[in-house]
């Protein structure tokens, strides 16, 4: 058995969860915040059998869409001002970051 952690963009979370439920997977949804853009994400936790990991990872990867977003970087306190970029830049956001860990024991009450 494996524990799958998936960090996805909030915009994709409901669509991913709906598809997981359709395929008889159960998940726990937690609100989380990214460190780069400081925007809301969703972290999903799933306990799955070893032979189901690829199915879950492929599903999340397919539905977790990458997007382009224009952001204005904020100056970092203490950083030299000559390295500060005061104009908007386009960055890629979204997609999914997925971790899998072995599970020694699983109980459901």
pLDDT at 6: 95
The domain segmentation of the chain, as residue ranges, is: 2-74+86-102
Distance of CA 6 to the CA centre of its chain: 5
Q: State mean pLDDT over 54-73.
A: 83
For residues 46 and 56, the answer to whether their CB atoms sit within 8 Å is yes
- Model confidence over 14-39: pLDDT tens digits? 999 999 999 999 999 999 876 655 67
Looking at per-residue confidence, does 95 or 15 come out higher? 15
DSSP letter at 77 equals T
Cα dihedral: 34, 37, 39, 44 (round 10)? -30
Q: Pairing mode, if any, of strands 96-102 and 40-48? A: unpaired
Q: Which band of pLDDT confidence, cut at 50, 70 and 90, is reported for residue 40?
A: confident
pLDDT at 41: 87
Q: What is the pTM of this model?
A: 0.72
3-state secondary structure at position 25:
coil
pLDDT at 64: 84
The CATH class of 2-74+86-102 is alpha beta
Question: Contacts from 53-58 at CB under 8 Å and sequence distance 24+?
Answer: 53/2, 53/4, 53/100, 55/23, 56/4, 56/20, 56/25, 57/4, 57/98, 57/100
């Amino acid at each position: 058995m494996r524990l799958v952690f998936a960090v996805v963009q909030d915009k994709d979370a409901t669509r991913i969860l709906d598809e997981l439920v359709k395929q008889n997977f159960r998940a726990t949804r937690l609100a989380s915040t990214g460190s780069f853009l400081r925007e809301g994400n969703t972290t999903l936790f799933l306990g799955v059998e070893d032979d189901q990991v690829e199915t879950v990872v492929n599903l999340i990867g397919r539905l977790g869409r990458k997007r382009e977003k224009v952001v204005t970087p904020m100056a970092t306190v203490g950083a030299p001002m000559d390295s500060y970029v005061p104009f908007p830049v386009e960055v890629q956001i979204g997609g999914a970051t997925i971790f899998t860990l072995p599970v020694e024991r699983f109980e459901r009450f």
